[in-house]
Chains A and B, each alone.
Chain A
Amino acid sequence: AQTVTQSQPEMSVQEAETVTLSCTYDTSESDYYLFWYKQPPSRQMILVIRQEAYKQQNATENRFSVNFQKAAKSFSLKISDSQLGDAAMYFCAYRRGNTGGFKTIFGAGTRLFVKA
């Protein structure tokens, strides 16, 4: 069974600084997708960035980028130039790539605090 592990329950970063959130996963599949979701106090999960496992290039979305290490099964999120609005829970998620279901499995989350 696939699992997703986020080993940092909480992280803190100074405004305008860079922070990296860690995620590891376990799977025997070769075709899958990885996601980082942000969950602010409003509770709505918002997709931050996604990575297809077959792509070697790390995904980037503005201030957000990932370091995808497929062999190590590691998928970390880097937030550059942190802003107060980045404060939220961040969830790493895994989804199989084949048909028959697109169940997304989530890690336990990392709460990010941004200090002014």
Chain B
Amino acid sequence: EAGVAQSPRYKIIEKRQSVAFWCNPISGHATLYWYQQILGQGPKLLIQFQNNGVVDDSQLPKDRFSAERLKGVDSTLKIQPAKLEDSAVYLCASSLAGDRGVSEAFFGQGTRLTVV
């Protein structure tokens, strides 16, 4: 089974520029997550989708971050404009929905964003 695919692997941008990350979850996984992992910290959930609907975006800085999941499959996360503190690894994960116990999240390799 193919894993969670993310691109690009690395991105360097100047502050105030915009950037977009792409994620393709595991086939059949209805739940998709975007996490932000700042160096030395654990991942922090930014947004969670169930199919193409948002379940939780309470920690998403909505003034600069946006995300969408068209057709309930692929997802993009955008930052506009970027700030220095947005430098982090952005992890995408997916899981089965409606499965109470077994459905752990499967993670992609992440995108390392550096804002200079």
| Interface 0/1 of B9-53, CB less than 8 Å to A | 000000000000000000000010100000011111100101000
Q: How far is the CA of A26 from the CA of B95 in the complex (A)?
A: 24
**Which residue from B42, B45, B55, B89 sits with its C-beta under 8 Å from A109?**
B42
Instruction: Tally inter-chain residue pairs, CB-CB below 8 A.
Output: 64
| Contact between chains at B91 and A102 (CB < 8 Å) | no
Assuming the A-B contacts A101-B55, A101-B56, are A106 and B42 also in contact, with contact meaning beta carbons closer than 8 angstroms in the complex?
Answer: yes
Contacts of B104 in A (CB 8 A): 33, 35, 47, 50, 104
Contacts of B97 in A (CB 8 A): 102
Which one of A44, A100, A102 has the greatest number of beta carbons of chain B within 10 Å? A102
| Interface 0/1 of B67-107, CB less than 8 Å to A | 00000000000000000000001010101011011011111
A91: interface (CB < 8 Å): yes
| Contact between chains at A97 and B109 (CB < 8 Å) | no
| Contact between chains at B110 and A105 (CB < 8 Å) | no
Q: Closest B-chain residue to A50, C-beta based?
A: B104
Contacts of A86 in B (CB 8 A): none
| Contact between chains at B110 and A44 (CB < 8 Å) | yes
**Which residue from B50, B105, B109 sits with its C-beta under 8 Å from A43?**
B109
Contacts of A35 in B (CB 8 A): 104
A45: interface (CB < 8 Å): yes
**Which residue from B31, B42, B56, B91 sits with its C-beta under 8 Å from A108?**
B42
Contacts of A52 in B (CB 8 A): 101
- In chain A, positions 23-62 with a C-beta closer than 8 Å to chain B are 33, 35, 37, 42-47, 50, 52
Interface residues in chain A, defined as those with a beta carbon under 8 Å from any beta carbon in chain B: 4, 6, 33, 35, 37, 42-47, 50, 52, 91, 97, 99-109
A-B contact pairs, 24 of them (CB 8 A): A6-B42, A35-B104, A43-B89, A43-B91, A43-B110, A43-B112, A44-B108, A45-B93, A46-B107, A50-B104, A97-B100, A97-B101, A99-B100, A100-B55, A101-B48, A102-B48, A102-B103, A103-B33, A104-B93, A105-B45, A106-B44, A107-B42, A108-B40, A108-B41
